[in-house]
Amino acid sequence: MPSSPKPLLPPLTLSPFLTILFSFLPPCTASPIPNCSPSTCGNSTIQIPYPFWLAQNPLSTFCGYPDLMLHCVDNNTILSLPDAGNYTVTAFNISSQTLSLLDTAAIADQTCPQPLRNLSIYSNFYNSTLSFTSEDTQLFFYYNCSKTASLAVPLRCKGGKSSYAVAVDLGVTSAADCEENVVAPVMHASAVGTDRFFYGDVVGVVKLGFRMHWDGGGGDECRRCEGSAGLCGRGPKGFVCFCESGISDKDCGEGKVSGTLTFDFVCFEICFFEV
| Model pLDDT for residues 21-75, shown as the tens digit of each residue | 334 444 434 444 556 778 889 888 999 998 998 886 555 556 888 888 899 998 8
72-107 per-position pLDDT tens digit: 998 899 999 888 889 999 999 999 999 999 998 888
Residue 246 forms part of a structural domain: no
What does the buried/exposed string (b/e) look like for 167-176 if buried means 16 or more CB atoms within 10 Å of the residue's CB?
beebeeebee
pLDDT band (50, 70, 90) for residue 11:
very low
pLDDT band (50, 70, 90) for residue 173:
low
d(CA 235, CA 249): 10
In the predicted model, is pLDDT for residue 143 greater than 80? yes
pLDDT band (50, 70, 90) for residue 249:
confident
Residue 74 forms part of a structural domain: no
pLDDT band (50, 70, 90) for residue 273:
very low
Q: Tell me, what amino acid is at 176?
A: A
In the predicted model, is pLDDT for residue 246 greater than 80? yes
Residue 37: count other Cβ atoms within 10 Å of its Cβ.
Answer: 11
Task: Return the minimum-mean-pLDDT range out of 4-8, 60-64, 215-219, 240-244.
Answer: 4-8
In the predicted model, is pLDDT for residue 275 greater than 50? no
Residue 259 forms part of a structural domain: no
176-232 per-position pLDDT tens digit: 789 998 999 999 986 677 777 777 788 889 999 999 999 866 678 888 899 999 998
Name every residue whose Cβ is closer than 8 Å to that of residue 41 and which is 6 or more positions away in sequence. 48, 54, 70, 72, 73, 75, 76, 77
Highest mean pLDDT among 116-130, 132-146, 197-211, 234-248: 132-146
Residue 187 forms part of a structural domain: yes
* Pairing relationship of beta strands 53-54 and 69-73 according to DSSP bridges: parallel
The total of structural domains in the chain comes to 1
In the predicted model, is pLDDT for residue 10 greater than 70? no
Domain of residue 112: give its range.
82-214
Residue 183 forms part of a structural domain: yes
Residue 102 forms part of a structural domain: yes
In the predicted model, is pLDDT for residue 262 greater than 50? no
Residue 185 forms part of a structural domain: yes
Residue 146 forms part of a structural domain: yes
SS (H, E, C) 43-94: CCCCCECCCCEECCCCCHHHECCCCCEEEEECCEEEEEECCCEEEEEEEEEC
